[in-house]
Structure 1
Amino acid sequence: MARIGDFASAAAPIGPDTPGAEVFDRFQSEPDTLILAVVDGDGRPVGLIERNVFILKMAAEFGRALYAKRPAAAFMDASPRILDADADAETLFQSVDDASLGGLLNGFVVTSGGLYVGVGAGVHVLQAGSAIHRRRADAMSALARDLARAEAEARASSRAKSEFLAVMSHEIRTPLNGVLGVAALMERELTQEDMRPYARTILDSGQSLLRLLTDALDMSRAEAGLMTFETAPVQLSAVAADLRALWSPRAQEKNLDLRVTCDTDGHDWVAADEMRLKQLFNNLIGNALKFTRAGEVSVHIASAEVDGAIAITATVDDSGPGVPSDAAGTIFDPFNTGHAGREGAGAGLGLAICRQIVELMQGGIGVDRSPQGGARFRFTLSLPGATREMRAAALEMAEPTAHATLHVLVVDDNATNRFVAAKVLELFGCSSEAVEDGREAVARVQTGRFDLVLMDIKMPVMDGVQATRLIRATPGPAADIPILALTANADPRDEAEYLAAGMNGVAQKPIQPDALLNAIRLVMGAADQRTPVDKAA
């Protein structure tokens, strides 16, 4: 008889109080460990942590700041599947349904007499299934070899993906912030018109790299079930206006007509994630402009009330080459770089992410032929309407207050980021000082006079969240200083954490002057400051 215990891994367990940093170190130092069990002082299991899900959390922007110091009990699966080591593996597999098998693939804890003896992961389930099938029939030996090969590939893929995401998330964005920040400053200050195309090329290429990085992380989060949606009031006509302003210059560069129309029939406000909604449109419009050499790109947004909800229908039509009917079924697949009839399609992630977003919002997306002869991408969503109170609050927040010269404390451990931030603040007529970590920031705001703090999050010695909490607990006027978080990718979960710590707002990296200026205005307006920031020239 094949026992469940025969296929378990005897990885050393951890306690509920083990910090996230130690958990991360365990996974890094033990590349073959896919599951860690969490046990109490008596050796009884109370939870488990799955390698890939945890590494993705840590790889998210400022994931280390959020989870490194938290105890395992805060992020473990507190209801793990627990199996007896002496149970017959074949009987177990014959009795489980698809849902239960899916739970086993996500990891389980093995016990004997109620005490921990090991853990199992998807690869261990595959090992057990392989052994059972080999024993039941020699004819299944070929399948067993395939399963063994799949086990090795799955383990290698899991390790490679986790390590790649961690390195990419933590390392690429810092130099990219410097590249894009300095290029934006150069473009603003250049007096030689013939040099502007060079600065613009740097900006365009850097933005393309940033989109690729964001797409890769979004796809990984979506596949792991970690993509989040932040519901807030969204005005569809304002979204249409933003899209028109964003993409018109690109259309003009290619001598294309871009039309963005919005027909809301009195149903202009919905409750949705505006960032994800714009991400949908941006991917589809950017795709249409890329493949259209002549003619036009037409975007239409329509909404109507259906069964108490707001039904949205959006189309993006172009006059490009279109998508062959035999390729339409695969065009939304990840990493489709030309097999769907559109060669030169980049990394093939944009449309796949569109499908992920739409499906997670319980909608549908498809492709057809447009009236212009090119491609028509169409998606539908059913969203709740925004209440009158939600609309009023959104309109109030959307009114940035103009402010004059400020003295700003820049807190960032990266010298390039400090340089870029200081130069951008100079454009606004602001003065600034800089420190390298949160501990220095806490000390500096108590001895200096600052109107605003630009606070990086991930820093050595003391991170931005902890520094903010200490500043807010400081006696005296320093406790009320407005603090604006600087982050490379403002995930809604991260933003909620920063605001809960006492920060007043969030600005994205790589730093873009106009976006930073608007974020400063919003923060200073909310704080009701009296001295303002001059407009950037």
Structure 2
Amino acid sequence: MTSPAAAQTLPDLAAFFDVSLDMLCIRDAHFRFVRVNEAWTRTLGHRIDALEGARMLDFIHPDDLRHSEGRMIGIGPDGEIDGFINRYRHADGSYRSLEWRARRVGDYVFGVARDVTERLAAEAEMAAAREAAEAANRAKSDFLANMSHEIRTPLNGVIGVAAALARTPLRDDQREMVSLIERSGAALEGIVSDVLDLSKIEAGRLRLDETAFDLRAELGLVIDVFRLRAEEKGLDFRVVWEPGAEGGLVGDPLRLRQVLTNLLSNAVKFTARGGVSVTVGCAQGHLSISVADTGVGFDALAARQLFQRFSQADGTITRRFGGTGLGLAISRSLVELMGGDISAESEPGVGSTFQFRLPARRAPLGPVAGRGAPETGDLMERLVGRRVLLAEDHPVNRRVVELILAPFGVELTIAEDGRAALERLAVERFDLVLMDMQMPVLDGLAATRELRLREAATGAPRTPVLMLSANAMRQHREEAQAAGADRHVAKPVTAQALLQTMAEELER
């Protein structure tokens, strides 16, 4: 405690009160200013003598008055408020936002305020900009999803009819033309999938699956495809499985295959002579895969933009080889999502080596079902005589399913929308329903939900439902499952995928 003698030596506290950059004030129990400092004049433009003795409430914005009065009344003995914001009138008639800290001492309240008008405006501007960016991103994602649906719907007809035509007797030149249609359709589907993957990555919506898988079996699916492509070009193709590169791992095998597919696709595409080699290693908790080629290569300048979106090492590459320039960008994003890293080394005219490393978690494997395509005779035996209802509004897609199922003895009934399908299901028994997701009158999701409710109410046996959809994003698969569908089959539908999925569901 300061003695009376020492107190006489203290400087005048009024000087400190007036030089403060913060707005200081003292008010009484009647909300009247007893004292204010010069900061009030600098901030609000009012003279000190116009403020002292005036009621604080007369300067507060009408919309803030009730709340402000309640907060001030609520300061009990030795109580305080902190972080409270309201608006005070400036001498020019505008309002400034003040942030308060105040404490009651006896019959008086001591307050400190700061002008936060610019800060709040900046925060509001940032929030508006963030909301605008999120809205634009949502609009882009919706557009891409719709675009995917609109492209996949006619593409389903192209690929489906071509596949059906390939199973008929054809001359060699006709079979070659059908093969070109199938390959072009598959390439177009790949482009659509790349664009959708990029959209999901940008929006942070791409999620990885966690499942146990056989490393050699999963990578072998990709390697075997590109071995054939390399041999068609007269290239050597070599695969090295290092010790430990086998057994079960936990991760997302689909995305792992996608990265390897992108690297091998580039390696085979950009190599005219020599060969391509793949090296797979799995040791010390990491899976490492490298793809080397003797192709065109690239220089250090090109390497800096290699993993950027819509970018290729050389502007002439798109004209010479085609491609969207998305494969490596998507691969890098996928590898990083999986907790790994990817790199590239190259020399122009000599070749390139791409390598990526991922954390590897071992997992025990049970018996692995064979992945070979079932024989036609086996499918015929499993499907012949089965009664199937197809709900599909698009005439080309209806015809595609008819062409796929007719040779296998399936008894197919057509409904042009979800409501018509439910009407048929009310009076007839079917072994399986193929339900398009988007239809007029009643869509596939609503129809499936109504079917499941009807089955539960009547005790009728469950009819398997396969949801056929040009909406191929993960959220659409989840929507189909939530509606009660047993499986989701993305368009374009291949004959093998449809037939095999139907057979599996019919035998469950």
- Is the TM-score greater than 0.5? yes
Matched residue, 1:416: 396
Matched residue, 2:210: 231
Matched residue, 2:494: 512
Give the TM-score normalised by structure 2.
0.68
1:480 is the counterpart of 2:457? no
Matched residue, 2:181: 202
Residues 135-534 of structure 1: pairs in structure 2 closer than 5 A = 161=140, 164-263=143-242, 265=244, 268-306=247-285, 311-339=286-314, 342=317, 344=319, 345-369=322-346, 373-386=350-363, 388=364, 391-392=365-366, 395=369, 403-405=382-384, 406-475=386-455, 479-488=461-470, 490-525=472-507, 527=508
- Is the Cα–Cα contact under 8 Å of residues 289 and 357 in structure 2 kept in the other structure? yes
> Which segments of 5 or more consecutive residues in structure 1 lack a partner in the other structure?
1-82, 95-100, 108-119, 125-153, 528-537
CA apart distance, 1:313:
0.5
CA apart distance, 1:242:
0.9
Q: 1:238 to 1:324 in 2, by over 3 A?
A: same
CA apart distance, 1:502:
2.5
2-side partners of 1:264 and 1:461: how far apart? 59
Q: 1:318 to 1:350 in 2, by over 3 A?
A: same
- Is the Cα–Cα contact under 8 Å of residues 324 and 340 in structure 1 kept in the other structure? no
Q: Deviations over 1:185-238 (max 9, x none)?
A: 122214211111211111122222111111111111111111121222221111
Q: Deviations over 1:311-368 (max 9, x none)?
A: 1101111121122233212111001134488554521111111011111111101111
Q: 1:343 to 1:180 in 2, by over 3 A?
A: closer
1-side partners of 2:240 and 2:196: how far apart? 31
**Structure (1 or 2) with the larger CA radius of gyration:** 2
Q: 1:485 to 1:160 in 2, by over 3 A?
A: closer
2-side partners of 1:413 and 1:419: how far apart? 11
CA apart distance, 1:255:
2.3
Matched residue, 1:32: none
The AA in structure 2 aligned to 1:368 is E
- Is the Cα–Cα contact under 8 Å of residues 317 and 377 in structure 1 kept in the other structure? yes
CA apart distance, 1:453:
1.3
The AA in structure 2 aligned to 1:410 is L
1-side partners of 2:247 and 2:120: how far apart? 54
Aligned length: 388
- Is the Cα–Cα contact under 8 Å of residues 328 and 340 in structure 1 kept in the other structure? no
Q: Deviations over 1:4-61 (max 9, x none)?
A: xxxxxxxxxxxxxxxxxxxxxxxxxxxxxxxxxxxxxxxxxxxxxxxxxxxxxxxxxx
The AA in structure 1 aligned to 2:306 is I
Residue identity over aligned pairs, in percent, reads 37
**Structure 1: 4+ residue segments shifted above 6 A:** 83-86, 154-160, 396-401
Candidates 72, 90, 93, aligned match of 2:118: 90
Once the two structures are overlaid, the 10-residue window that deviates more, 292-301 or 170-179, is 292-301
1-side partners of 2:439 and 2:176: how far apart? 35
> Which segments of 5 or more consecutive residues in structure 2 lack a partner in the other structure?
1-84, 88-95, 98-115
Q: RMSD over aligned Cα, in angstroms?
A: 3.4
Name the SS for the 2:404 alignment partner.
helix
Once the two structures are overlaid, the 10-residue window that deviates more, 456-465 or 191-200, is 456-465
- Is the Cα–Cα contact under 8 Å of residues 244 and 259 in structure 1 kept in the other structure? no
2-side partners of 1:273 and 1:200: how far apart? 31
Once the two structures are overlaid, the 10-residue window that deviates more, 265-274 or 409-418, is 265-274
CA apart distance, 1:404:
3.5
The AA in structure 2 aligned to 1:169 is S
The AA in structure 2 aligned to 1:323 is F
